[in-house]
Structures are given as structure tokens and as C-alpha cells.
Amino acid sequence: MQKEIVLLHGWGMNRQVWQLLEKELQGAIDGQVKSLDLPGFGHAQMPEKPYSLSSAAALIAEQLADNTTLVGWSLGGLVALHIANHYPQKVNKVVFIASTPFFAESNNWSGIKVEVLENFKAQLLDNSAKTIERFLAIQAMGSEHAKQDVKQLRAWLLEAPEANSEALSAGLDILLNDDYREVFSTLEQPIYGLFGKLDSLVPRRSITKMKALNSNFQVEILPKASHAPFISHRTESLNFLKSVL
């Protein structure tokens, strides 16, 4: 049976962000490649239960064949990690793209400042579109193609329905509160990571911490990329994915 590779997007986005990489990856590997919308984003329905990492991951897990390789960007990486831990028969490998088992900055852990995430939550209530626009800018910050990256992300974002406001708010809560470092450190499946050296949301220091947590974590850091390396550096990202898939 052909292996299946499933791509999971990040907060505020939808599966359209993968369209170029998905096509190129499909032509480069022996397997079926597809992308899914996270619950409440794009065309995906909301969970019936209160929105959480667990309820969102359960809906994704229902759509997976056994022994799937999960590629998760940002928030999508946390979803992939949860599924690998709670539905191990579904996942044979996890690939992080600019993701981390814990997004918030805390004692001895580099991440997004708590006040930044809390400000995003407050701004969502006033103007969700403006909040997402600001998040797009932060994701591209530092990239040598920042303006083009934001323009491309924005265009893809508009190709699907607007994200559910509850999913947006709950997604920020997940980024703020869900700590999967222990899960990451004991994960039985192989796990790989692609990062941008200029990423302000997943700082390079956190990558060092991740490698200390899990000695089997194999990473590649692109020196001129930021939080969306698969957009700004598609060729390098494709080569990395081909090497680990």
C-alpha cells in the first residue's frame, strides 16, 4: 500500500498554503500527498465538543489512514504531535515545519512572549482580519522575501472561507497553554524538523532545547528563512522533505 503524507497548516491559515509544495512533493516521492484543514479553518467543520487540541486532533485523526506521515507547520505540528501520541497506529513519522512542543516563552524555554499571545487574543475581539494580517507580517519577519511571503500567504488565505472566530481564539489558547514537551521527549515515532534561523516565533534557542529533549530529533535550519520556510525557500524545503519522507 502506498504511504500517505498529510500536511497540516498553522494558526489562522488553511490548507491552501500547501498547494505549491503539495504538487511538487507529490511528483517527487512515492506516496499519496494531501493537505487537510484544521477544524474551524478553511472548509473544515468545528468540533462538537469544546474546541481544544484534543478535540481538534480527534477530527483530524478520523481522516487518517494507518501509518500516515504527518507534516505540521506551526500549530499543525502540535496537532501532529498529539495525534502521534494518542493515536499511534495512525502515525509512523512526524515532521515539524517551524513548530515546537511548546510555543509560549517560559522559564528556561524560548518562545513567543506570553503578552504577545494575550494581545492577539484581545485584538481578535475587535478585528480578527487585522489580527491575522499582523500575524502574517510576524511570520515573514526577517525573511529576505518578507513582502512576497506575506502577499502569497494572504492570497491563499482568501481562497477559502474565513476562519471560525472560536477556532481562532481557541487556537491562540493552545499556543499559549498546551505544553507537549514531555510527549515530545518520549515520542516513539521518528520526528524531524525544518526551521528558519530568522524565525521570531520559534527561536533558534528553542531548537537546541528540543534536541536536548529528544536526541533522535533530526533538524535542518535554513539560514535566511523565517517562520514559513516552505514558502520563502520552497526548493530547500522540498529537498529536506524528500530526504526524510
Catalytic residues: 74, 199, 227
- Contact (Cβ atoms closer than 8 angstroms) between residue 40 and residue 158: no
The C-alpha cell 511528483 sits at 27
**How is the beta sheet containing 191-196 ordered, strand by strand?**
32-36, 4-8, 68-73, 91-97, 191-196, 218-222
- Contact (Cβ atoms closer than 8 angstroms) between residue 167 and residue 44: no
Distances (CA, A) of 47 to 51, 124, 230: 6, 20, 28
Phi, psi of 35 (to 5 degrees): -120, 155
- Contact (Cβ atoms closer than 8 angstroms) between residue 205 and residue 103: no
For residues 215, 228, 118, 170, the Cα torsion angle rounded to the nearest 10 degrees is -80
Q: How far apart are the first and last CA of the chain?
A: 15
